[in-house]
């Protein structure tokens, strides 16, 4: 469905902005417009609980208050500081982005979505989040929660391009920061995934779905479909090896202690190769260590 065929649910705007005046959460990264600090928060918040990031975000910024400070450190420093946040590849991507910011942008983050997307590991969501939350630009930021709202409001299961076009069209002029933060919090507090509070929702008359019939958010753009189990997965083994490397180098043969019952030497080699390819480890002779 094209943007032209979608009816933009403008009736949600005023009630949502009214709701936000008293209901927005107070989160520390919402108190800053520093692009680097916003970027760090957005990378940390990807698939990580807010409560965990509340503790780790200030600690990270105390060590690396600017992109240049981060770039001047070793990748291993960032990986070590990332312990407990999971998805360690994000730490490497953040460090690589910091290096590019230092080397190509005089230590300042690009100010456009296109420029931000050119940084290593920065996808369309993160680029738009920094544009909205650091530079207060009027761009729509579509994550799994916002994707759910858009589908329900329109009553349509949306493809990515129409969803993004709709998100952009809904942003009230000059209110990109507040609007996107409001969508995040409304989706968490009211229009939840499993038990939306439709009866008490201030948008019920403007919502095409309103809790009746099949949920159009199922399979819609940006809406998470869930992950495969972590227990016993390659991700778990990768995480355990990375945690061990945070304590110091180890002999390659010692990787066998992280093996699962069905692992073979070939499958363990594949996991180690993946860590090296992702920049999370390096092999020197027979010793595995964090990257320098």
DSSP string, 114-168: HHHHTSTT--HHHHHHHHHHTS--------HHHHHHHHHHHTS---HHHHHHHHH
Active-site residue flag, 42: yes
Q: Which position among 5, 7, 23, 42 bears the catalytic label?
A: 42
Q: Report the alpha-carbon angle 32-82-140, nearest 5.
A: 40
Query: Please, are residues 12 and 153 in contact by the beta-carbon 8 Å criterion?
Result: yes
Q: What's the burial of 172, exposed, middle or buried (CB within 10 Å: 0-12/13-18/19+)?
A: middle
Q: Provide φ and ψ at 284, rounded to 5°.
A: -120, 115
Q: Report the alpha-carbon angle 119-123-126, nearest 5.
A: 95
Who's near 26: CB < 8 A, 6+ residues apart? none
**DSSP H or E segment with residue 284:** strand 282-284
- Residue 151 to residues 72, 135, 156, 160: CA-CA distances in angstroms? 43, 27, 5, 11
Q: Which pair of structure tokens corresponds to residue 193?
A: 């995934």
The set of catalytic residues is 42
């Amino acid at each position: 469905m094209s943007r032209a065929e979608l009816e933009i649910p403008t009736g949600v705007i005023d009630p949502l902005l009214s709701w936000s005046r008293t209901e927005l959460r107070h989160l520390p990264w919402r108190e800053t417009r520093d692009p680097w600090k916003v970027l760090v928060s957005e990378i940390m918040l990807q698939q990580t609980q807010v409560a965990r990031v509340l503790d780790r975000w200030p600690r990270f910024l105390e060590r690396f208050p600017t992109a240049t400070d981060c770039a001047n450190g070793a990748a291993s420093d960032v990986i070590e500081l990332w312990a407990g946040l999971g998805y360690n590849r994000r730490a490497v991507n953040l460090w690589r982005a910091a290096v590019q910011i230092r080397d190509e942008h005089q230590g300042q983050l690009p100010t456009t979505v296109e420029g931000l997307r050119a940084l290593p590991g920065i996808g369309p969501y993160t680029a738009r989040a920094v544009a909205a939350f650091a530079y207060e630009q009027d761009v729509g930021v579509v994550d799994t929660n916002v994707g759910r709202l858009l589908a329900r409001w329109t009553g349509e299961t949306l493809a990515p391009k129409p969803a993004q076009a709709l998100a952009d069209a809904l942003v009230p002029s000059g209110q990109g920061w507040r609007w996107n933060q409001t969508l995040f919090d409304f989706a968490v507090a009211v229009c939840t995934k499993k038990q939306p509070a439709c009866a008490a929702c201030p948008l019920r008359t403007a919502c095409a779905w309103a809790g009746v019939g099949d949920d159009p958010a199922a399979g819609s753009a940006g809406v998470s479909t869930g992950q495969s189990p972590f227990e016993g997965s390659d991700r778990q083994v990768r995480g355990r090896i990375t945690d061990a490397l945070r304590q110091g180098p180890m002999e390659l043969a010692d990787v066998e202690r992280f093996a699962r019952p069905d692992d073979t030497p070939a499958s363990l080699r594949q996991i180690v190769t993946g860590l090296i390819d992702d920049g999370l480890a390096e092999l020197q002779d027979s010793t595995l260590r964090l990257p320098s």
